[in-house]
Amino acid sequence: MILFEKHKEILDGATKAVYSRGFWAAYPENPKAYAEDGLAKAQEWYNTQLDNPFTELLQQNQNEWKGNETSPYTQELLNITYPAFEVDALIGNARSAMPDWRNATPETRAAVLIESLERIQKRFFDIALATMHTSGQAYMMSFQASGPHANDRALEAIAIGYDMLKRFPGKSEWDKPMGKFDIKVKKTWKAMGRGISLVIGCSTFPVWNTVPGLYASLMTGNPVIVKPHPGAILPIAIVVAEIQKALVSERFNPDIVQLAVDTYNSPITKDLATHPDVKIIDYTGGTKFGDYIESIPGKISFTEKAGVNSVIIDSVNELAPVMQNLAFAACLYSGQMCTAPQNIFIPEGGIKVGDTNVAFSDVAEAFADAVKNIVTHPKMGPGVLGAIQNIDTIQRIADAKENEEGGVVVLDSMSVQNEEFPNARSASPLVMTLDADAVDTYSEECFGPVVYIIRTRDTNQSIELAKKLASTRGAISCGAYTTDHKIKEHIAMEMEEAFTPVAFNLTGQIWMNQNAAFSDFHVTGGNPAGNASFTDPAYLVKRFVWVGHKEII
């Protein structure tokens, strides 16, 4: 209980924040809040990792070492290898480690897990460089998303899990009056984790998308096997190693959390997912494999899949701030975000800007110019767009131009000049205009830097198309701009029916891509973009069951 008391204040703060939904952050997002020499030391650490085995994991008896990550910035192999295990060995280790963790009190589990976050906090700079050179995120995004923001999301899962586990009493006396006598029964209840949990990571956000499910399962008493994307292992390997160290420091088996690496040529994800002892699966990635995960019988699955995110532009007070905001949202991490805008719906007659009307073509040109200003800026360009994680994304841009269905290229994709990393694999957003009837093109997610500006009959058709896409293809985010209160209400009501949140009239330093821990629910779980939400109570309570016993007193 000493460790619990140490971390009780942060747990109480997180729990309060979860239910108030205002701004709260346990871990500052500014690198200046941490060690002054943190980045320099991290660079030294990273350089020593290259061409060497990663030895921080407390996992033993590996059968070989694997790893073939490539840096999107240098386009060279990292040559870092990780201990690899057979599926049955991973399952056996998890099964052996499960009883002590499952029987630990919620207080103990919460304390150990928050302690692990404190350890991870000391590695934020290491994790940032690891994220950069596996995902292609720019440095600042790598630091914030894989560091403070990920830790906050993990803490959010701990707080909700703890609250759900403490919602009901562990024991009670049941006294039923029967007239001349009473029936007295002593009753006890225990929250039991469902079993082994598998978390399947993605290549673009290897930490941020992994830790919610990882910590949710751990908090509810389940051992976890983390299966990272073979192209982005190092960032989450650091996280797993620090969790294992926290477990060992409190005399728990480190195999409560295991890293399960594989390669592109020898994948093990399906073997793990279909193993009968795996009861819970968290997945982030493409729709096809996500649908497969959801179809496996006997599993509780939590998925975040692909979506087609829309922006509806009806009217604005000023055009420039809106275009700058949307351009930044489209350029951020080269559109390699599940929340990035893809389809911008604009009426063919143009939009109202203040008291004047601006033509469709002029709005499209204004957006393209705003994108170009970011891309060609020598500092902002590489700092905002980063690098392209997967070579397939480059091909996707070329395919978009070929399958244009009468579309017109307003701004072609170009490479982003990066003085620090001249060999970086980069691409700026391709901006194309399309007619509304080119639905076969814009109804598919084109993951990466591709933006379609779609000419609609009027705002009502824009809303109709955005709603239909969200309902049938899925959407994680939606942007809307209007100065008309009635139209705003109409957009909100229509998109609510598609279970899609709307960001209205954003300008300045906040973008539709962003979802904040303790405040925003990431993915609603109500449309095809995913069946779960970071982080609502259902994300936690499905991971455990209540088992009760009773005895006559």
CATH code where residue 420 lies = 3.40.309.10
Q: Are residues 111 and 161 in the same domain?
A: yes
**Of the residues 260, 284, 305, the one at which a domain ends:** 305
Q: Which amino acid is present at 413? A: S
**Residue 68: what pLDDT?**
93
Q: Does residue 256 contact residue 95 with C-beta atoms inside 8 Å?
A: no
Task: Read off the pLDDT of residues 204-249 as tens digits, 9 standing for 90 and up.
Answer: 999 999 999 999 999 999 999 999 999 999 999 999 999 999 999 9
Distance CA 510, CA 512 (A): 7
Q: How far apart are CA 542 and CA 525, in angstroms?
A: 14
Whether 405 has a pLDDT exceeding 90, the answer reads no
Confirm whether 334 is domain-assigned.
yes
Of 283, 305, 327, which residue is a domain's last?
305
Q: What is the CATH number of the domain that holds 226?
A: 3.40.605.10
Are 263 and 394 part of one and the same domain? no
Q: 185 and 314 share a domain?
A: no
Q: Are residues 279 and 317 in the same domain?
A: no
Q: Are residues 252 and 360 in the same domain?
A: no
155 in a structural domain: yes
* 240 & 118 share domain: yes
Say if 510 falls within a structural domain.
no
SS3 375: helix
Orientation angle between helical segments 106-121 and 211-219, nearest 10 degrees: 150
Residue-number span of the structural domain to which 439 is assigned: 310-504
Given strand 544-552, what is the order of strands in its sheet? Answer: 171-177, 182-193, 544-552
- Among 279, 305, 331, the domain-final residue is 305
Are residues 435 and 378 both part of a single domain?
Answer: yes
Residue 32 belongs to some domain of the structure: yes
The total of structural domains in the chain comes to: 2
Residue with tokens 């509780």: 300
Residue 407 lies in a domain: yes
Residue 446: pLDDT band (50, 70, 90) is very high
pTM comes to: 0.96
In a domain, 203, yes or no: yes
pLDDT tens sequence across 20-67: 999 999 999 999 999 999 999 999 999 999 999 999 999 999 999 999
- What percentage of the chain exceeds 90 in pLDDT? 97
Mean of the per-residue pLDDT values of the chain: 96
If asked whether residues 332 and 388 sit together in one domain, one would say yes
List 451's β-bridge partners, or say none: 431
pLDDT at 272 > cutoff 90: yes
Average pLDDT, stretch 128-138?
98
- The packing angle between helices 139-146 and 124-135, to 10°, is 120
Q: Are residues 269 and 390 in the same domain?
A: no
Residues 47 and 118 in one domain: yes
Is 373 part of a structural domain of the chain? yes
Question: Are 323 and 425 part of one and the same domain?
Answer: yes
Q: Tell whether 207 and 351 lie within a shared domain.
A: no
- pLDDT digit string (tens) for 522-553? 999 999 999 999 999 999 999 999 999 999 98
In a domain, 274, yes or no: yes
